Chain A
Amino acid sequence: MPPMLWLGVAYLGALAALLITSLWTQNDFTGEIERAWTLENFQDLFRVDVYRTITFRTIGIAALVTVIDAVLAFPIALYMAKVASPRAQRLLVIAVLMPLWASYLVKAYAWRGMFSADGPIAWVAAPFGLHSPGYGLFATTVTLSYLWLPYMILPVYAGLERVPSSLFEASADLGAGSWHTLRRVVLPMAFPAFVAGSIFTFSLTMGDYIAVKIVGGTTQLLGNVVYDNQGAANNLPFAAAVATVPIVVMLGYLAAARRTGALEQL
């Protein structure tokens, strides 16, 4: 029970406080919070077009990062789970975990270097008469896909490991080619694992603002709006109102994930 209590107080309590704050307003001049109930922040959130644009952009990038990570993770996880020798398997797990030992900032700045006008990408592209794509949505998507890839590989690997190898043989005995086996046998069984991984990649992208600041150029995601309002403009109530958007999106996402039945099978 005590652990649940912790969760209730520390986690849900903080969320409740956030929601309450979003119903207050702020004195633009002094930055003091004025504790009068109002829906003004939410009205602004819906009224001003830019916030809708940013919300859709954030959801779009989160979805794109999730798809990219799923596509990249599947062959790696499949190799780790079904092809590699036990020794290679252990080494690969360590290799996948290794980037998580390095600081998030170091990795994001590494990508800033990659995309810079005198960085490796520009250097490789130069002989073809091309430039680095520079900082922006593309760089953000690549960086976030890189950052969250281990969070997709590990659940998919765990999921594939639980698929009995005998099923591969059975499928082959019944005349299915390896492509057919992957599509009809392996993927459906690994689907819950993809959903589990996608919850990580999707939610982590929804909330990110640091990588966007480093490689995003002029791009803003929801996290930046929260950061700019809280960290810069000091408008905590509006920041809280914006912060409820990813919460609502994630609740919707989790509800959809539950409907697929994926969460029960984990």
Chain B
Amino acid sequence: MRNIGSKRLAAVACAGVLALATACGTSSGGSDGDKKASADQGGFSAPDVPMATAIGDPEGQVNILAWPGYAEDGSTDKTIDWVTPFEKESGCQANVKYFGTSDEAVQLMKTGEYDVVSASGDATLRLVAAGDVAPVNTKLLKNYADIAPFLKDQAFNSVDGQMYGVPHGWGANLLMYDTEKVSPAPTSWSAVFDDASQYAGKVTAYDSPIYIADAALYLMDTQPDLGIKDPYALDEDQLAAAVEVLKKQKENVSEYWSDYLKEVQAFKSGDSVIGTTWQVIASVAQGEGAKVEAVLPDEGSTGWSDTWMIGAEAKNPNCGYLWMDYITSPKAQAAVAEYFGEAPANTQACSLTSDPTFCDTYHAEDAAYAAKIHYWTTPIEQCLDGRTDVKCTDYGDWTTAWTEIKG
């Protein structure tokens, strides 16, 4: 019920924000001019937001915006709790709000209500460019030194060598299926695309424009002629091909999900039998008795690499820094990574996981494997795959395309 309540609240809040944003006028966006200057990273330069120089006295609370499963306080499962130890240790009460899509995270960060956010690669640069997050002084974070080097100073979490957050962890989107109704076990994404009709009306997919990349990734494999090199760099023809795949898929889709509990429930009741998922959803569904498995298909997958960022207008920056340091500590990282089912950014966590082979299973220290996952990235006009002879479709185009796919 917590989730339902918060959704309702979010709806009310959105309505309120809508009224305020329109009625209050020029509080945001007045300085668009300087924010849009061109630079090498996809046509933007980061606005000047001051960076913290020291961690002061904790404010007593911190407002955390996180992916579901990133800040568990024992309310989902009594044994899953790394927020309470943080609260005791730091003296900061943690107020956690989960979000379902990167768009939602970007939208909620704009309210200025949240101190820290776990942002994926398709949200990070948008937050930086909008001036909604501040650069992070990594010297203040004890655990930063232990973060896997291949996650530091990446295009999606830094600008001009300045980190805008602390890497949290990374992983791949998986294919979940009902072991009783789907056999043999699927090994390819074709189970939800070209062969989806055998599960007509029981297929599910992620309700966000970024899901178009999953179709593009599938096309990289099945239609090499299209010349897709990067599923986030699609020119108009390539986008049209991906949209075609998704429109065909829609005929077999029961519903799209963005609320993870809705997907768990749909698999439990049998309304969905196959579709894209995260490891944590599969684990929760299994915990509730659903007969499901999640696999990484042969084509590879889209995935995420998440970064804890701090709000530019954070009201509790000290507690925010304490949280960022805590959540990247080996102990917390081991707990989150095992619960969520992802590779921890802090590889010291690997010796603390309850399953000693956990980090090997998730290739946590394997930079070459990490490079194979197509991490969520915001599509922009300048093709991310380096093509200069053609304009790529940007996220706005993807949003419109997604509405058209859903029809």
**Chain A contacts to B: CB under 8 angstroms:** 13-14, 17-18, 20-21, 26-35, 44, 48-51, 53-54, 105, 109, 116-119, 134-135, 210, 216-218, 220, 225, 227-236, 239-240
Contact = CB atoms under 8 A, between A and B. Distances in A.
A98 B389 CA distance: 65
B189 to A, nearest CB: 19
Contacts of A54: 407
Contact of A135 (B8, B32, B255, B396): B255
Which of B21, B269, B270, B395 gathers most chain A CB within 10 Å?
B269
Nearest to B21: A236
Interface residues of B, number: 55
Q: Name which of A32, A34, A109, A240 has the most chain B CB atoms within 10 A of its CB.
A: A32
Nearest to A118: B269
A236 B269 contact: no
B19 A32 contact: no
B19 A231 contact: no
Contacts of B183: none
Interface of B: 4, 8, 10-11, 14, 18-19, 21-23, 26, 28-29, 32, 35-36, 42-44, 101, 103-104, 106-107, 110, 125-126, 129-130, 201-202, 208-209, 250, 253-256, 258, 266, 269-271, 378, 380, 394-396, 399-400, 402-404, 406-407
Contacts of A228: 399, 402-403
B46 to A, nearest CB: 11
A239 B258 CA distance: 19
> Would you list the 6 A-B pairs with minimal beta carbon distance, nearest first?
A28-B396, A17-B22, A30-B130, A117-B270, A232-B103, A116-B269
A30 B129 contact: yes
A196 B249 CA distance: 42
Contacts of B201: 134
Contacts of A236: 18, 21-22
Contacts of B19: 14, 17
A239 B22 CA distance: 12
Contacts of B32: 27, 32, 34
Contacts of A235: 396, 399
B256 A218 contact: yes
B40 to A, nearest CB: 15
B23 A13 contact: yes
Contacts of A134: 201, 254, 271
Contact of B101 (A220, A232, A239): A232
B27 to A, nearest CB: 11
B21 A225 contact: no
Nearest to A210: B11
Contacts of A225: 403
